[in-house]
């Protein structure tokens, strides 16, 4: 079976080793000049890595799941997403996410990293299993509709293609350097640990360099040599130990480790009405006490989060905080179209929008970008800096932003009855009325929805609904 529970891919989806393989594959993708440029210009992986991880896992689950209709809709969504990603890198070389050769390389890194994962953990794939897995990834690429640039037809030809690409096309790109030397060392806390910066900083200080060293050691030797990546003494032993240790999870009872459950747990807010939230709240209380002990024993230079700081700070934040947390989705220090496109992409994904609603939402955000650019881009360089935003009128709520709110309401109101009910609300915010909106009763009217959206997007008020959607990592 190519897709569904009987596939080779389905065996690996909940395998802890696959986390290491995914990181490795992402680095090899980022080393491709076109992919690296697209990541730097458009991706939220720096500012919102946990959201990116969750969305990637959800997409793979849809594509390799048993439901053919879901698979077809996800393929169409990915094609629409990729069609919007094009431009030029810092050396003015064009990139296009619809380039079939680029898409083939993304799939190639996932396949090869899975094979390498098995080999490094002492459980190499049998030839027949490897050929079946390769056929599944070929089918994945074919489902996207590419007519050219498919992966090589046979597994033997694939290894020639893979080695040639590694040796001649990959580069030490900016995106690769960000992943290896910035992301791991500055990885923001997942929502589960939000507000516990001391505890997170302590764990990250230990784990970040280790993950980076393991990843570098696992990369193909020809590329490491050409890219000048350092080889830390003992890194290969550490890498093999990590893969072997993760491979021991096969002895755990079936169902104990599920990628979807673990990811949703990391993304679970204590404010959620999920039944697990009470347990999370108790866990956070214990971790806060641990954090207090760390502050006494170690001088970690971190600022208090909302749970560890002053209780009287109120629901507002400064213009600079709002700019960094909400507007600068790509984390490059500026506001431009890719940031607002990332918001539209996240909202479309949450609501699982099809055409033409998805395009309507993107178009509304594009009009808002024009409005912001005209009002705030004082030096006319095509983007808005934090200083330009803070110096102008951060509470702008013009017609274009109002239109974004209206389009978002219409997209959320799936039955078109003029109000958002509990199920529709949960589809967007992943939580219930009682936790986030006071006085909604059994529905959320258009006027109240638009008012709350404008308050968040222009008034810089924190929101129990919108912060997890657009501000959290």
Helix (H) / strand (E) element for 419: namely: strand 419-420
Q: pLDDT tens, 265-281?
A: 555 655 566 666 566 66
**Cα atoms found within 13 Å of the Cα of residue 444, Cβ hemisphere only:** 27
Which residues, 6+ apart, have CB-to-CB distance to 34 below 8 Å?
89, 93, 95, 96, 97, 99, 102
Distance CA 337, CA 383 (A): 8
Q: Residues 327-348: what's their mean pLDDT?
A: 95
Residue 20 backbone phi and psi in degrees, to 5:
-65, -40
Q: pLDDT tens, 147-203?
A: 656 799 999 999 999 999 999 999 999 999 999 988 888 888 777 676 667 777 888
Contact 344/319 with Cβ under 8 angstroms?
no
Per-residue pLDDT at 9 exceeds 90: no
Higher-pLDDT residue of 20, 296: 20
Per-residue pLDDT at 387 exceeds 80: yes
**Integer Rg of the chain from CA:** 23
Q: How confident is the model at residue 263 (pLDDT cuts 50, 70, 90)?
A: low
Distance CA 45, CA 451 (A): 30
Computed from CA positions of residues 10, 14, 17, 23, in that sequence, does the dihedral angle turn out positive or negative?
positive
Q: How confident is the model at residue 318 (pLDDT cuts 50, 70, 90)?
A: confident
Which residues, 6+ apart, have CB-to-CB distance to 174 below 8 Å?
36, 40, 90
Which residues, 6+ apart, have CB-to-CB distance to 113 below 8 Å?
21, 22, 24, 25, 28
The string of DSSP letters for 43-56 reads: --TTT-HHHHHHHH
Residue 21 backbone phi and psi in degrees, to 5:
-65, -40
pLDDT of residue 264: 62
Q: pLDDT tens, 95-121?
A: 999 999 999 999 999 999 999 999 998
Of 434, 429, 427, which Cα lies nearest the Cα of 467?
429
Per-residue pLDDT at 309 exceeds 70: no
Per-residue pLDDT at 290 exceeds 80: no
Distance CA 353, CA 3 (A): 23
Per-residue pLDDT at 453 exceeds 80: yes
Q: pLDDT tens, 128-137?
A: 999 999 999 9
Helix (H) / strand (E) element for 334: namely: strand 334-335
Region of poorest pLDDT, from 82-86, 158-162, 207-211, 258-262: 258-262
Helix (H) / strand (E) element for 142: namely: helix 127-143
Region of poorest pLDDT, from 64-68, 76-80, 283-287, 426-430: 283-287
Name the 3-class secondary structure at 125.
coil
Contact 287/193 with Cβ under 8 angstroms?
yes
pLDDT of residue 274: 62
Where do the domains of the chain lie, and which CATH numbers do they carry? 8-249 (no CATH), 319-471 (1.10.238.10)
Contact 166/105 with Cβ under 8 angstroms?
no
Residues of the chain above pLDDT 90, percent: 53
Distance CA 81, CA 103 (A): 13
Q: pLDDT tens, 414-452?
A: 999 999 999 999 999 888 776 566 555 678 999 999 999
Q: How confident is the model at residue 455 (pLDDT cuts 50, 70, 90)?
A: confident
Q: How confident is the model at residue 308 (pLDDT cuts 50, 70, 90)?
A: very low
Q: Residues 132-146: what's their mean pLDDT?
A: 91
Distance CA 125, CA 133 (A): 10
pLDDT of residue 145: 87
Higher-pLDDT residue of 298, 196: 196
First to last CA, the chain: 36
What global pTM score does this model have?
0.84
Q: How confident is the model at residue 316 (pLDDT cuts 50, 70, 90)?
A: confident
Place of tokens 């009910």: 421
Per-residue pLDDT at 226 exceeds 50: yes
Instruction: Name, of 41-45, 183-187, 284-288, 396-400, the range with top average pLDDT.
Output: 41-45
């Amino acid at each position: 079976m190519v897709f569904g529970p009987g596939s080779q891919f389905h065996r690996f989806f909940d395998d802890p080793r696959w986390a290491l393989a995914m990181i490795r594959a992402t680095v090899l993708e980022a080393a491709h000049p076109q992919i690296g440029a697209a990541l730097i210009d458009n991706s939220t992986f720096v500012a919102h890595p946990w959201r990116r991880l969750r969305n990637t896992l959800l997409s793979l689950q849809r594509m390799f799941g048993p439901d053919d209709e879901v698979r077809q809709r996800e393929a169409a969504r990915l094609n629409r997403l990729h069609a919007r990603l094009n431009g030029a890198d810092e050396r003015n070389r064009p990139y296009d996410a619809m380039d079939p050769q680029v898409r083939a390389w993304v799939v190639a890194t996932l396949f090869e990293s899975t094979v390498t994962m098995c080999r490094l953990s002492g459980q190499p794939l049998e030839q027949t299993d490897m050929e079946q897995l390769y056929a599944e990834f070929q089918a994945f690429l074919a489902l996207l509709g590419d007519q050219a640039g498919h992966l090589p037809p046979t597994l033997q030809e694939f290894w020639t293609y893979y080695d040639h690409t590694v040796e001649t096309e990959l580069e030490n790109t900016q995106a690769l350097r960000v992943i290896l030397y910035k992301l791991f060392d500055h990885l923001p806390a997942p929502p589960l640990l939000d507000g516990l910066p001391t505890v997170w900083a302590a764990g990250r200080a230990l784990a970040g360099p280790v993950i980076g060293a393991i990843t570098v050691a696992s990369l193909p030797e020809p590329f490491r040599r050409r890219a000048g990546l350092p080889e830390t003494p003992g890194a290969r032993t550490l890498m093999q130990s990590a893969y072997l240790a993760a491979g021991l999870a096969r002895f755990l009872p079936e169902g104990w480790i599920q990628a979807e459950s673990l990811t949703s747990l990391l993304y679970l807010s204590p404010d959620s009405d999920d039944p697990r939230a009470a347990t999370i709240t108790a866990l956070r209380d214990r971790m806060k006490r641990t954090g207090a002990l760390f502050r006494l024993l170690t001088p970690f230079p971190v600022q208090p989060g909302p749970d560890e700081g002053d209780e009287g700070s109120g629901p507002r934040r400064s213009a600079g905080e709002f700019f960094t947390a909400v507007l600068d989705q790509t984390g490059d220090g500026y506001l431009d179209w890719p940031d607002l496109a990332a918001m539209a992409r996240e909202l479309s994904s949450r609501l699982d929008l099809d055409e033409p609603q998805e395009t309507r939402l993107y178009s509304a955000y594009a009009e808002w970008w024009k409005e912001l650019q005209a009002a705030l881009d004082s030096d006319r360089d095509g983007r808005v800096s934090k200083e330009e935003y803070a110096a102008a009128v951060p509470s702008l709520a013009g017609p274009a932003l109002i239109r974004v709110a209206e389009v978002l309401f219409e997209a959320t109101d799936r039955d078109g009855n003029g109000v958002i009910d509990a199920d529709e609300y949960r589809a967007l915010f992943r939580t219930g009325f009682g936790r986030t909106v006071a006085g909604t009763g059994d529905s959320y009217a258009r006027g109240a929805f638009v008012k709350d959206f404008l308050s968040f997007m222009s008034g810089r008020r924190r929101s129990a609904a919108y912060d997890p959607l657009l501000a959290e990592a």
